[in-house]
Structure 1
Amino acid sequence: MKLKTLAGLIGIVTLINLLTRFMGFIREIIIGTQFGTSSMADNVVLAYTIPNFLYLVLGGAITTSFISIYNKIDSDLNKEQFKKVILTYSSIIVLVITIILLVFNNKTISIMFPGVVGEKKEILETLFFITTPSTFFLVLSMWFSGVLNIHGKYIGASLSTFINNLVFILFVLLAYPILGVYSYGWGALLSALIMFLLLFIELKKGGFLPFSLSLHYSNKSDLIRMSKILIPILLGGATLQFYFITQRFFASYLTEGYIAAINYATKLVQLPQTILMTSVTTIIYPLLAKKAANKEFSEIGKIFKKGDHLLVLYLIPLSIFVYFFSNDIVSFIFEYGSFDKNSTDVTSAMLKIFVIGMHAHAANMYITRFYYALEKAIYPVVIGLLSVFGLNIFISYYFLDSMGADAVAWGTTISAYFQYFTLLIIGKYKLNLDIRLGTTNFHYLLIIISQCLIMFIARPSIKFNISLLNLFLGGILFLITYLPTLHFLGYSIKLPKRKGKVNAS
């Protein structure tokens, strides 16, 4: 494939992925408009927590480990057999998990969300029962997308996810007057089924999917190798999702609406870091893998330093802006219909805490890629699990009674930074990453202090009744103060004439 063609393909896929993320965000806005921060909003969020978790974590682990082994199999015949066996075992495993969730519906909710009781729990049980079958279609759809990708069919795989979100939104808008809150369950199931069928048809049309199932594969060593890869990917990739699970576990004990408020806040924090990390995952990781294969370790160190530098320059100042204008951001995006002023206040309070950790979450995703590329996956897996199930749970549990929902938010934020700095220190010795303290770190401190002072002093004067106006004026203030600060510290942001990339050095 020619370089221009590849670049164009990456651009199209990235655009589709961004549109997909945007559609997913629209879904959250619709939930807010219809339910605000009520118990119904909580139930909708909780109902698709487990199916979404399995889709992203189990589906992602199966797909990534499958691709890794599939590309190393020499014989085309063995490749087809391997594909057939993985489809068979994956289908059986996911089907069994789905049936267990359906049969033990009540028990699952009691264990995962113990604070949900009474009528709220009854509604959640019904909604969860409707939503759960989507798990089967979602996880297999992830694997189908992976199969399409290894055959160079990137656009079809990306479009299916976009259509999934689009169908979900359209169904909810049309069916809500009839089905009420249960339209979300049926919408999740229908959209997952349609995505599954679209991918299935695409695979069959291209001849990429086996016409039969099989439990036998001649080269068992490939299956063993895939299992060894799958487990660390499963645990490592689950870190961020485990944060969401623990957040909702502890928030279920709080006053109704906090589960929804935490969900809205985390979605706002995720949006910019997801957009940024999509490009990083698409472009940097393949480059890292190539450098690692060629043992160009000094180049890997330079790539890390440059990327880490850019994450600080872009995300930390953005975090400061979001912190000071959190109320206006939430009001402008969500405050419609049932999402009233009280919902805005509750959500913006959560957003202020979560956004402090925005850089840490993005940086964790970034540095983890270096561990994977250099085949040191055990470190991010262990540190991630310690952060989520150690420090995060300790803070949430110990301070829940005294701090309420703030304890849940701080648990996520503090443990994310613990995870980042621990990976950074280990990376210095195990990956030879350059994390020396010096002028650059002093510059970062100056940027943080100066932007916080500017926003703290100027924010009280930007207090109009129109949120959009406040955000517009705040944005101008941000640009006219931050860019000169960068220039003063010796950094520059250049916009090349022919390329749309932003370059900060």
Structure 2
Amino acid sequence: MNRILKIVGAVAVINILARLFGFLREVIIGWQYGTTELAASIINAYTIPNFLYLVIGGAFTTAFISIYHKTSASLTDYIRRTFTTIIVSISIISLLFIIFANPILHWYFQAATGEEYERLKSLYYWMMPSTIMLVLSTWLSGVLNVQGKFHLSSFSVLIYNLSFLIISVGLSLVIGPIGYGVGALLGAACMFFFLVFGVRKAEHMSFKLMPPNADDQKELWKVALPIMLGGATAQMYILIQRFFTNMLDASAVTAVNYATKMSQFPQAILMTAVTTVIFPLLSKKEGEEDIAAVKALYLRGLRLLYILVMPVSVYFYFQAEPIIRIVFERNQWDATDTAVMTPLLTVFSLTMFFLAANMYVTRFYYAKGNSMTPVIFSFITVFGVNIAVIQLMIGQYAAHAIAWGTVVSAAANFLLLVIWLQWKYKLKLIDKNMSQFMRFATLTVIYIAIVWLVSTYIHINFIWLHVIVTFMILLISYVLLLALFRLQELQQIIAKVKKKLFKK
């Protein structure tokens, strides 16, 4: 566990920087264009390329890692065949989305017309080819992760977001919004070539094409396709959000997007750090049929994820307005835009743990070779629960209905995943660890009460000072609560620090 915490900490630091640059890009778009149609065009144009990158890249990479420790074939040949499968598949898919750009954009973004549509299409044409390099980069990161080189793969995301930020913002000052389309393509190229250089010394690595007609590629597709369906279903949150917000107005598109990104920013950093490290270890333990280790990873990972995400979620819920004012309120973004976004961020903050935990728990299904059950649960919750909540509420609550649909469906999906995992594979969230579970529940209630008191009675006019003071008070309070409840994870971290200090 100490080794996991050490690696998770290092990966988390790199991910914080990477996500920070990615989030800063979103913030600068808000500064430059507020909640206008210009901002909406940039956001909408990136929706489909980003969807394909996350779904296809994530599915192939997860399937590749799952099979890597189980294949009886030569690992070099397995890597060559997988590289061939991925590059051919994503090239064909990207080409089809470019050829049929007009019907796709007209159907999905029906409100865009005239100059707005032409701008959207130009941005889309620039961004779509980046999908090929992004999917290949995701797979190359998987090659590094499966060999324990987590830092290099995490650093590649930092390269991508930093280059995307610098190029996009720089070009936008010269050629306008289209600069973000050019930046997306060049940023993806920077990440891809960085990883190509990074894997040159990896074991069994080869970029030579090889006919993908072996059994391991059939198994790759067998595992990857359900994951694609599941990933597509999960990513449909974003597509559904875009679909419904485009029925409202440009401010709804941008406000929902920024509220989603702000709520995803902290949980994505923490979830990525935990999942990146634990999934290859999980896959290895499953290959070794070490059931006790798998059960231990399941509980420890979820506890660690909750300890990291819960306080951030609660803080965002009670301090949404000050956070938005500090991050966005300048240039073209004014108090009116903040007022539109604040209640949305408050609701979206409730999704943090559920979305992170859903991705984490799903990895245990994949490691078990069961990639279809998460797809079924995602389909039920995203297309059933999510859309039902939106349809029931959108007439009265407009964009807020979209936020509540995400919260309710994400929580429902988590419950289904945990219950089925316990029934089918005996991975129990609550068993002999009831006392530990009660500690977490009591810790949560007390921390929420403290945050409520601080938010109710501490108000400082200077917004920066307000956020700094409230954050430090709550941070210290949370650390003291962790120490008071003697949670295993904190005790292990303290023991590690003492050991380091004692050696010095």
TM-score category (smaller protein): 0.7 to 0.9
Match of 1:133 in 2: 129
Check conservation: 2:11, 2:154, Cα contact below 8 A: yes
Q: Determine if the alignment matches structure 1 residue 38 to structure 2 residue 32.
A: no
TM normalised by structure 1 equals: 0.86
Q: Determine if the alignment matches structure 1 residue 282 to structure 2 residue 288.
A: no
Match of 1:226 in 2: 220
Q: Determine if the alignment matches structure 1 residue 210 to structure 2 residue 204.
A: no
Aligned length: 493
> For residues 124 and 376 of structure 1, do their structure 2 counterparts lie closer, same or farther at Cα, with a shift above 3 Å needed?
same
Distance 1:199 1:481 in 2: 41
> For residues 368 and 91 of structure 1, do their structure 2 counterparts lie closer, same or farther at Cα, with a shift above 3 Å needed?
closer
Match of 1:466 in 2: 462
Alignment of 1:375-414 (within 5 A): 375-414=369-408
SS at match of 2:222: helix
Of 176-185 and 262-271, deviating more is: 262-271
SS at match of 1:66: helix
Amino acid at match of 2:33: F
Distance 1:312 1:7 in 2: 14
Distance 1:223 1:123 in 2: 40
Cα offsets for 1:314-359 (capped at 9, x unmatched):
4334322211110011111222222221222222221100111212
Distance 2:64 2:443 in 1: 44
Question: How far did residue 474 of structure 1 move?
Answer: 1.9
Q: 2:22 pairs with 18, 21, 24, which one?
A: 24
Distance 2:244 2:354 in 1: 22
Check conservation: 2:69, 2:284, Cα contact below 8 A: no
Check conservation: 2:81, 2:217, Cα contact below 8 A: no
Amino acid at match of 1:99: L
Q: Determine if the alignment matches structure 1 residue 108 to structure 2 residue 109.
A: no
Distance 1:484 1:185 in 2: 47
Cα offsets for 1:77-121 (capped at 9, x unmatched):
xx5444444333433322222222222222112333334445433
Distance 1:58 1:394 in 2: 27
Structure 1: any 5+ residue segments left out of the alignment?
Answer: none
Match of 2:175 in 1: 179
Distance 1:9 1:305 in 2: 18
Q: Determine if the alignment matches structure 1 residue 52 to structure 2 residue 46.
A: no
Distance 2:212 2:363 in 1: 33
Distance 2:363 2:199 in 1: 29
Match of 1:420 in 2: 414
Cα offsets for 1:273-331 (capped at 9, x unmatched):
22222332234334434444454545544443444344444433432221111001111
> For residues 98 and 295 of structure 1, do their structure 2 counterparts lie closer, same or farther at Cα, with a shift above 3 Å needed?
closer
SS at match of 1:336: coil
Structure 2: any 5+ residue segments left out of the alignment?
Answer: 500-504
Of 170-179 and 157-166, deviating more is: 157-166
Q: 2:257 pairs with 255, 263, 285, which one?
A: 263
TM normalised by structure 2 equals: 0.86
Identity between Structure 1 and Structure 2 (%): 36
Distance 1:69 1:215 in 2: 18
Of 153-162 and 169-178, deviating more is: 153-162
Match of 2:238 in 1: 244
Check conservation: 2:84, 2:212, Cα contact below 8 A: no
Cα offsets for 1:135-168 (capped at 9, x unmatched):
2222223233334555666555444332222221
SS at match of 1:357: helix
> For residues 489 and 63 of structure 1, do their structure 2 counterparts lie closer, same or farther at Cα, with a shift above 3 Å needed?
closer
> For residues 374 and 35 of structure 1, do their structure 2 counterparts lie closer, same or farther at Cα, with a shift above 3 Å needed?
same
Match of 2:84 in 1: 88
Of 273-282 and 413-422, deviating more is: 273-282
Alignment of 1:308-457 (within 5 A): 308-436=302-430, 446-457=442-453
Cα offsets for 1:251-273 (capped at 9, x unmatched):
11112122222222222222222
Q: Determine if the alignment matches structure 1 residue 496 to structure 2 residue 494.
A: yes
> For residues 283 and 469 of structure 1, do their structure 2 counterparts lie closer, same or farther at Cα, with a shift above 3 Å needed?
same
Question: How far did residue 411 of structure 1 move?
Answer: 0.6
Check conservation: 1:371, 1:431, Cα contact below 8 A: no
Amino acid at match of 1:41: A
Question: How far did residue 383 of structure 1 move?
Answer: 0.7
Match of 2:502 in 1: none
Check conservation: 1:250, 1:397, Cα contact below 8 A: no
Check conservation: 1:427, 1:433, Cα contact below 8 A: yes
Question: How far did residue 185 of structure 1 move?
Answer: 0.4
> For residues 96 and 432 of structure 1, do their structure 2 counterparts lie closer, same or farther at Cα, with a shift above 3 Å needed?
same
Match of 1:254 in 2: 248
Check conservation: 1:28, 1:264, Cα contact below 8 A: yes
Distance 2:156 2:446 in 1: 45
SS at match of 1:48: helix
Question: How far did residue 60 of structure 1 move?
Answer: 1.9
Question: How far did residue 236 of structure 1 move?
Answer: 3.0
Match of 2:298 in 1: 304
Distance 1:74 1:378 in 2: 24
Check conservation: 1:265, 1:350, Cα contact below 8 A: yes
Amino acid at match of 2:222: K
> For residues 462 and 120 of structure 1, do their structure 2 counterparts lie closer, same or farther at Cα, with a shift above 3 Å needed?
farther
Question: How far did residue 178 of structure 1 move?
Answer: 1.7
Check conservation: 1:203, 1:209, Cα contact below 8 A: no
